[in-house]
Amino acid sequence: AHEPCVAEVPEGGQDGLDLVDLHDAFLQLAPRDRLALTSWTVHEGAAARVAEDLGVRRELVKVRLFRARQRLRRALETLGAGA
């Protein structure tokens, strides 16, 4: 099942999220988190490919992504851009 990714957030969506805010929040993330989210997007959710990019076991991919998304959400909240 394909999960929504950062690249699929529409500009000025219903929740008021702006791509500029998303970009700024993304840049606040640690390189490891940016790589996890970017790899997930590039490989369209293929956990094995993401695991290879991250240098981790496939089982850890969803954990890394969950934590990266949490940190992205917090960064957005800090910017006052989203919930």
pLDDT tens per residue, range 16-33: 668 888 899 999 999 999
Q: At what angle do helices 47-54 and 58-78 cross, to 10 degrees?
A: 80
- Mean per-residue pLDDT for 57-74? 93
Check pLDDT > 70 for residue 59: yes
Using an 8 Å Cβ cutoff, are 33 and 68 in contact?
yes
pTM over 0.85: no
Report the b/e string of 20-47 with b at 16+ CB within 10 A.
ebbeebbebbeeebbbbbbbbeeeeeeb
One-letter amino acid for residue 34 of the chain: R
